């Protein structure tokens, strides 16, 4: 192993001088990959080996303004690239939007809104002179207690794929490189840097690779290889996952960067497909790198070819050109090392409106016996109970990277965070909404259940707030090392809910949670409604008000399964160094279906203030072989008396001989319908949706036999099923 050699001399990035500007970035001119490669090859062909290597090497931890930077080169000129977290907005920066987390975006099941979320994030990153956004995260929710579940888009590969691709398209339309991460099998925080995830080829392709395939089709510019090992080989040294699959099978034309400190070698990494080492150091904070002069030496020794280094560089340069970053690219306006030195650039525009509406669109109404929506006219006193309704007295950013749990939960912790410009708490949102018309009483002291009961007893309606938090392993919150120690509500939540329900027959529970929790009180009739508010970001209280008081009719649907008991889940986080994915394809709802376990709330579930009827499901097949096209249509009618949106979902059952779990999500749409109106919804399935991975031929194949399309309102609320045969 080569180490101990200092990196090449660099052209350092200078920190910005203090200046205040507002955002007026021109629309970037995007190129196709082919066009971008022509420009990149022309530039890279003029570069020396040292120059090429500089473009692939990070400038090391905390040496330059962004969370990751590459070195610039001159003659020919290529700038230092700025890479910055994270999946929901710009980390370590001021005057930015702190929006909903990936999982809450996913629970909107709204493709257009997810694309728009990507766009506004792209505009903010570009406006701050950041070339590469370190998101989206598409880590599948494998274990309900895994710490970073809230950063990605849930338990289902199809949903992850749609949300991932829409996010990539949105970010990149604005001229910023999106990064799909963490490739691959980084599905828990425990031992993430010391474990191997062992997964069979079919499961890899059908579950974990699926979202990457969709993002590659969407043109994603970069992919981050993960900390963990895969079948005993480090993620960033893995020839199979990087060269064979990502660059080979999927035809990925962008570049692979390491997760921070996930590079373990020079020759093996580079020859296995790693194109950029981040943040550059061998061990973060040391003075050494596996790339830099170690890489030029490896070329001199003949262990890495000069062509491979040119390929690495061309991939990076082409991605830069593809996003139109060579024209009118703003000066970098973040400074992670010294925040006060960052240029003052305001990029938020009116993005708060999108955050508010997506916070509401991503809210899932789990239970409602008719108590919701609330009407100000019929309430005199409303009790707010639980610290999750209130603010952190030290401010919403009191703990670095949200590494504590004080007040309402609007973000998990770790690198997936942004600093809040402000945080509207539920208390503030409700207070602003009800004004003087309703008397608000409250207790935010979670451990005094008697006080909670007393306040509840005197109110018309008691709103009880609780949460469950998690994050990345380098921060420990209340003994939780990233992953959660259990699936219970935090801050005495269950006891508060039970105490309130003992004292008042009209309890509404509001939960902000990173992923599923246990709800031992769910069948208590006094708990009349449960609102699942997810991880809503800076507009939390306003989004909640929109749902509680009916300005928005809930249409969020669960992006994961909520089980009745912890043991019902097929997988939980394990404290092992060998993590066998023995569940194979039976992940999430597929596990519950395959083992006939009744979930508490199934994948795809969510209530509305209106009702929807489904009729006339029809299926039509055209073409054959790989050109087959199957079309399913359904008529959806808003049969209630409130306008609202429905999310019809299409699930496919494969022929029995395929050996698949009972059903797979393969289509969904969000349709807005005025009361009494109906609309025809169409789903199309082709080779992608109808194939399984054949581990013998190493190919996607459409199995022959009888398929069934199930159309319904959730994975368990199937309204009609129609079969078709593939010869
Ligand atoms: C490690 C995290 O796993 C990754 O998601 C993040 O982008 C980098 N740190 C940089 O903060």
Residues with active-site annotation: 259
Residue in 638, 385, 684, 685 with CA at minimum distance from that of residue 507? 385
Give the DSSP H or E segment for 721.
strand 718-726
Q: Sort residue 184 into left (φ over 0), alpha (ψ -120 to 50) or beta.
A: beta
Task: Say which residues have a Cβ less than 8 Å from residue 487's Cβ, sequence separation at least 6.
Answer: 144, 145, 468, 516, 517, 518, 566
Burial category of 20 from C-beta neighbours within 10 Å (exposed 0-12, middle 13-18, buried 19 and up): exposed
| Ligand 1: residue whose CA is nearest its atom 5 | 415
Measuring from atom 10 of ligand 1, which residue has the nearest CA?
260
Question: pLDDT below 50 — which residues of the chain?
Answer: 1-23
**Beta-carbon contacts of residue 58 (< 8 Å; ≥ 6 apart):** 68, 69, 70, 276, 277, 278, 279, 280, 281, 289, 291
Give CA–CA dist 453/383, Å, rounded. 10
Distance from the CA of 490 to the center of ligand 1, in angstroms? 26
- Decide whether any atom of ligand 1 lies within 6 Å of the 151 Cβ: no
Q: How far is CA 502 from the centre of its chain?
A: 38
The residue written with tokens 């749990």 in the block is 405
Compute the distance from residue 181 Cα to the ligand 1 centre, in Å: 9
Sign of CA dihedral 305, 309, 314, 316: positive
Q: How many other β-carbons are positioned within 10 Å of the β-carbon of residue 525?
A: 9
Tokens of 383: 């009790």
Reading the block at residue 193, the tokens are 């840097």
Reading the block at residue 457, the tokens are: 């007893």
Determine the Cα–Cα distance for residues 55 and 53; give it in Å rounded to an integer: 5
Q: List the one residue out of 70, 124, 79, 69 whose CA is nearest residue 97.
A: 124
Pull the structure tokens for residue 198. Answer: 């062992």
Helices (H) and strands (E) in the chain, counts: 18, 29
Residue 133 beta carbon below 6 angstroms from any ligand 1 atom: no
Residue 260 Cβ inside 6 Å of ligand 1? The answer reads: yes
- The CB of 85 under 6 Å from ligand 1? The reply is yes
Torsional class of 318: left (φ above 0), alpha (ψ -120 to 50), beta (otherwise): alpha
Token reading at 13: 């990035």
Closest CA to 184 of 221, 138, 152: 138
CB–CB of 371/564 below 8 Å? no
CA 109 to each of CA 166, 513, 595, 648: distance values in angstroms, whole numbers, following the listed order: 11, 18, 26, 10
CB distance 162 to ligand 1 below 6 Å: no
Q: Which helix (H) or strand (E) holds 715?
A: none
Q: Angle CA(211)–CA(212)–CA(216) in degrees, nearest 5?
A: 120
Please report which residue ranges of 303-418 form alpha helices under DSSP H: 306-322, 351-361
Helix (H, G, I), strand (E, B) or coil at 69: strand
| Report field, pTM of the whole predicted structure over 0.95 | yes
Q: Which of 688, 706, 679, 684 is nearest to 632 (CA)?
A: 684
Question: Is the sign of the CA dihedral 32, 38, 41, 43 positive or negative?
Answer: negative
pLDDT at 287: 86
Q: 276 and 70 in contact (C-beta within 8 Å)?
A: yes
pLDDT reported for residue 25: 59
Spatial CA neighbour of 258 closest among 239, 273, 243: 273
Centroid of ligand 1 to alpha carbon of 415 (angstroms): 6
Question: CB under 8 Å to 420, separation ≥6 — which residues?
Answer: 98, 396, 397, 410, 411, 537, 538
Question: Beta partners for 456?
Answer: none
Q: Which tokens belong to 317?
A: 């340069």
Count of positions (residues) in the chain: 727
> Which mutation among 58, 64, 68, 134 tests ligand 1's pocket best, with the greatest number of atoms within 8 A of CB?
134
| Closest atom, ligand 1, to C-alpha of 186 | 3
Q: Across 581-648, where does the E strand assignment appear?
A: 612-622, 629-638, 644-646
Torsion sign over Cα 288, 293, 299, 302: negative
**What would you measure as the largest C-alpha separation in the chain, in angstroms?**
80
- Cβ–ligand 1 distance for 236 under 6 Å, the answer no
Q: What is the distance in A from the centroid of ligand 1 to the CA of 499?
A: 41
Which protein residue's CA is at the shortest distance from atom 6 of ligand 1? 415
Residue closest to 258 by CA, chosen among 289, 232, 287, 285:
289
CA of 19 to the centre of ligand 1 (A): 29
**What is the distance between the alpha carbons of residues 156 and 160, in angstroms, rounded to a whole number?**
6
Kindly give, in sequence order, each residue whose CB lies less than 8 Å from that of residue 61, ignoring residues fewer than 6 positions away. 260, 279, 280, 281, 284, 285
The three-state secondary structure class of 607 is: strand
Nearest CA to ligand 1 atom 11: 415
3-class secondary structure, 278? coil
Token pair recorded at residue 222: 């970069």
Burial 348-363, CB ≥16 within 10 A → b, else e = beebbebbbbbbbbbb
Burial class of residue 201 (count of CB atoms within 10 Å of its CB; 0-12, 13-18, 19+): middle
Secondary structure class of 462 (helix, strand, coil) = strand
User: Distance, CA 259 to ligand 1 centroid (Å)?
Assistant: 6
CA 39 – CA 322 distance, rounded (Å):
9
Q: How far apart are CA 540 and CA 543, in angstroms?
A: 5
For residue 567, give Cα distances in angstroms to 525, 571, 583: 25, 9, 14
């Amino acid at each position: 192993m080569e180490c101990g050699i200092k990196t090449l001399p660099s052209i350092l990035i200078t920190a910005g001088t203090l200046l205040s500007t507002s955002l007026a970035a021109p629309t970037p001119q995007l190129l196709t990959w082919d066009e971008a490669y022509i420009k990149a090859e022309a530039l890279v062909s003029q570069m020396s080996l040292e120059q090429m290597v500089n473009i692939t090497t990070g400038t090391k931890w905390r040496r330059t303004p962004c969370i990751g930077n590459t070195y610039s080169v001159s003659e020919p000129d290529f700038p230092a690239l700025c890479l910055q977290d994270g999946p929901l907005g710009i980390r370590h920066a001021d005057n930015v939007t702190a929006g909903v987390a990936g999982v809450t975006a996913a629970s909107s099941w709204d493709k257009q809104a997810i694309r728009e979320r990507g766009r506004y994030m792209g505009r903010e990153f570009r406006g701050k002179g950041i070339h590469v956004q370190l998101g989206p995260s598409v880590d599948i929710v494998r274990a309900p207690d895994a710490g970073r579940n809230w950063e990605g888009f849930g338990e289902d590969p199809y949903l992850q794929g749609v949300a991932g691709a829409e996010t990539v398209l949105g970010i990149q339309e604005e001229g910023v490189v999106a990064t799909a991460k963490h490739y691959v099998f980084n599905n828990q925080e425990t031992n993430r840097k010391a474990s191997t995830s062992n997964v069979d080829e079919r499961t890899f392709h059908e579950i974990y690779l699926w979202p990457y395939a969709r993002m590659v089709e969407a043109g994603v510019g970069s992919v981050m290889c993960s900390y963990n090992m895969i079948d005993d080989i480090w993620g960033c040294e893995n020839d199979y996952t990087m060269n064979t699959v990502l660059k080979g099978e999927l035809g990925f034309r962008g570049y692979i960067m390491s997760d921070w400190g996930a590079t373990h070698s020079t020759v093996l990494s580079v020859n296995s497909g790693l194109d950029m080492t981040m943040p550059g150091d061998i061990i973060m904070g040391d003075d050494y790198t596996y790339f830099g002069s170690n890489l030029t030496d490896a070329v001199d020794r003949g262990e890495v070819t000069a062509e491979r280094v040119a390929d690495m560089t061309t991939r990076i340069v082409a991605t830069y050109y593809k996003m139109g970053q060579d024209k009118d690219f703003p000066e970098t306006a973040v400074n992670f090392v010294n925040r006060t030195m960052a240029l003052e650039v305001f990029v938020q525009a009116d993005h708060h409106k999108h955050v508010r509406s997506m916070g509401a669109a991503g809210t899932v109404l789990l239970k409602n016996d008719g108590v919701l929506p609330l009407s100000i006219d019929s309430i005199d006193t409303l009790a707010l109970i639980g610290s999750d309704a209130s603010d952190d007295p030290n401010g919403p950013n009191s703990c670095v990277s949200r590494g504590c749990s004080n007040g309402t939960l609007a973000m998990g912790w770790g690198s997936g965070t942004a600093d809040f410009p402000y945080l509207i708490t539920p208390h503030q949102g409700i207070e602003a909404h009800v004004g003087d018309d309703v008397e608000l009483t409250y207790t935010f002291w979670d451990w005094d259940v008697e006080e909670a009961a007393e306040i509840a007893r005197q109110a018309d309606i008691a709103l009880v707030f609780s949460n469950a938090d998690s994050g990345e392993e380098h921060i420990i919150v209340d003994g939780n090392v990233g992953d959660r120690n259990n699936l219970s509500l935090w801050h005495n939540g269950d006891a508060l809910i039970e105490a309130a329900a003992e004292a008042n027959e009209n309890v509404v529970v509001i939960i902000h949670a990173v992923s599923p929790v246990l709800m031992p009180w769910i069948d208590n009739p006094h708990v009349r409604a449960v609102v699942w508010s997810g991880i809503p970001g800076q507009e939390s209280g306003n989004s909640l008000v929109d749902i509680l008081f009916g300005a928005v009719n809930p249409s969020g649907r669960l992006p994961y399964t909520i089980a009745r008991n912890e043991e019902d889940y097929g997988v939980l986080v394990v404290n092992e160094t060998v993590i066998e994915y023995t569940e194979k394809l039976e992940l999430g709802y597929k596990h519950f279906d395959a083992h006939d376990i009744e979930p508490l709330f199934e994948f795809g579930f969510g209530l509305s203030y209106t009702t929807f009827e489904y009729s006339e499901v029809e299926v039509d097949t055209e073409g054959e072989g790989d050109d087959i096209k199957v079309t399913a249509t359904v008529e959806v009618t808003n049969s209630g008396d409130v306008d609202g949106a429905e999310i019809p979902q299409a699930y496919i059952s494969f022929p029995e001989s395929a050996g698949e779990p009972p059903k797979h999500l393969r289509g969904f749409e969000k349709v807005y319908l005025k009361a009494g109106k109906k609309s025809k919804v169409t789903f199309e399935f082709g080779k992608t949706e109808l194939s399984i991975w054949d581990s013998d031929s190493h190919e996607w194949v459409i199995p022959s036999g009888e398929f069934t399309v199930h159309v319904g309102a959730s994975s368990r609320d199937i309204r009609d099923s129609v079969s078709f045969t593939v010869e």
